[in-house]
A and B are shown apart, each in its own frame.
Chain A
Amino acid sequence: MNRIPSALQLGIRRGGLEIRQFARQRESVVFTLLFPVILLAIFGSVFQNTIAPGVTFSQYFVAGMIASGLVNTGFQALAITIPMERDVGALKRLRGTPMPASSYFIGKSILIFVSMVIQILLLLGFGVAFFGLEMPTESSKWLTFAWLVLLGSACSTALGIAFSIVPKSGRGASAVVSPIVIILQFFSGVFFVFTQLPPWMQQVAAIFPLKWLTQGMRSVFLPESFASQEVAQSWELQTSFVVLMIWLAIGIFFSVRKFKWDRD
């Protein structure tokens, strides 16, 4: 008698399967991966002004797009697709097999991380090619970028899985989830310069992870001199790290404790 495969082993297998399934849904592949690029094309063409010496709006916007891409691809996609999987009985079927819940979560994390990396590459490539995006040169900035993407992706995935318990059905999920994401994007300085938003909006945004991800991404893509124009006159990277870690913990807690495999 062989042993039951380990949770990690099955999680990696599930990741492969999730990617394969995702890749076959052409519409959602195009939408998910190219949507930020399309937004960049629109905003980059409309706002050709500079918001500080040497800082174009496109440069500012790319930071926001990468951050909100993490929210769209992870949180939004999972909080909508998991209720759909639940509706069609896919989750209940999985529950009836020896595959542990953690493998399912690992599989989702892999899917989100891989699609995030592709999305970022497309966005950066497009930005450099058409909108004069300047890439950071210091390795310390790339290090910041790496942990922001990793932690942001994990946080977004965990919160998406946790939030999937909220929509009653797959059909209604989008109506519940999308407004939250869009409002957060406006509040968090993705579409506008954050410091130009009303203070109450800034304060609300500061509770949620997107503001901190966006600000962190600005520290990567904007010149060091721009830090003085942030709310705290600094990038506040430590605070970003702490806030994201707290939200990651909240996401994992609810995912593990409250995940719903079955309707009703």
Chain B
Amino acid sequence: MSLIEVQGLKKSYGDVHAVRGVDLEIAQGEIFSLLGPNGAGKTTTVEILEGFRNRDAGSVSVLGFDPQTRGRESRIWRDRIGIVLQSSSDAGDLTVVETIHHFSGYYSNPRNVDEVIHSVGLKEKESALIRNLSGGQRRRLDVALGIIGNPELLFLDEPTTGFDPEARRAFWALIQQLRSDGTSILLTTHYLDEAEALADRVAVINKGVIMEVSTPADLGGRATSQATVQWRDGAETKSEKTDNPTAVVSALSTRFNGEVPELVVTRPSLEDIYLEMIGGVDE
């Protein structure tokens, strides 16, 4: 059964057609990543799924519920989802544990406060006032508040902006842990390496339409695209695009009598493919 089903979603702001007919299907248990440049309709789409915005046209079902519905039913629905927004800097005068404990009271079946603090790595900071946390610690708190309700579905918006590489790796491990605990995740991110590391499937959105939905490895024909073999020949750096990199390397090896100087074999990164996709529409 699909967790999220979107068909023909449209949303305009005045003359600006932010979302122009988006179809999406996200399965239970997967990490699904929505990629796209600023102004592509990414945020609008996600905010409609989160129930923050109303749509102009199309049908949307999130956990079998229309996010546009208000009232008591909407509370029961919100009880089952978690949202980590882009940036928030509120409640600076409360401690980490006070805040998480308070938010846990909003839900019918919250996770254990202490466990959540542990899992986001804030144990040492639990008695610190939020205003004294670093940017990365604050983001961890955001995630803690997103998962305290034990959600079936978690929305993660640009979760690691401003993280150092080490913190980012730790954060990725946390997200993977959540997935293996059974939480489905919709991730929006600017970082292609992040999508590649975490997502089971990615969708590229541009100018209000979905361009492709695929696994990170297959996006844009990446898995079958040509490899580039690069090496050094005297003072010159040479490269060759090929469908058979192994044969090229083997031939080079024979030519250089063993080691090929500064040998590199690459395939297009997710970022290369992505930039090509969104660049292609601009023309």
Contacts and interface: CB of A to CB of B under 8 A. Distances in A.
B94 A98 contact: no
B93 to A, nearest CB: 4
Contacts of B89: 88-89
Contact of B78 (A1, A24, A88, A96): A96
Interface string A87-105: 0111011011111100000
Contacts, number: 76
Contact of B90 (A1, A24, A25, A88): A88
Interface in B147-206: 149
Given A2-B109, A262-B52, A93 B88 contact: yes
Interface residues of B, number: 29
Given A96-B52, A97-B103, A25 B93 contact: yes
B121 to A, nearest CB: 20
Given A20-B94, A24-B93, A25-B93, A98 B88 contact: no
A225 B67 CA distance: 62
A3 interface: yes
Contacts of A95: 52
Chain A, interface SS category:
loop
A17 interface: yes
B78 to A, nearest CB: 4
A184 B88 CA distance: 35
SS class of chain B's interface: helix, strand, loop or mixed? loop
B45 to A, nearest CB: 16
Interface residues of A, number: 25
B127 to A, nearest CB: 14
A186 B93 CA distance: 35
A93 B85 contact: yes
B264 interface: no
B218 interface: no
Interface of A: 1-5, 10, 13, 17, 20-21, 24-25, 85, 88-90, 92-93, 95-100, 262
A89 B93 contact: no
Contacts of B98: 17, 20
Contacts of A17: 94, 98, 102
A14 B90 CA distance: 15
Given A24-B93, A98-B75, A92 B85 contact: yes
B93 A98 contact: no
B116 interface: no
Interface string B212-245: 0000000000000000000000000000000000
Nearest to B77: A98
Nearest to A96: B83
By CB atoms of chain B within 10 A, which of A4, A10, A20 has the most? A4
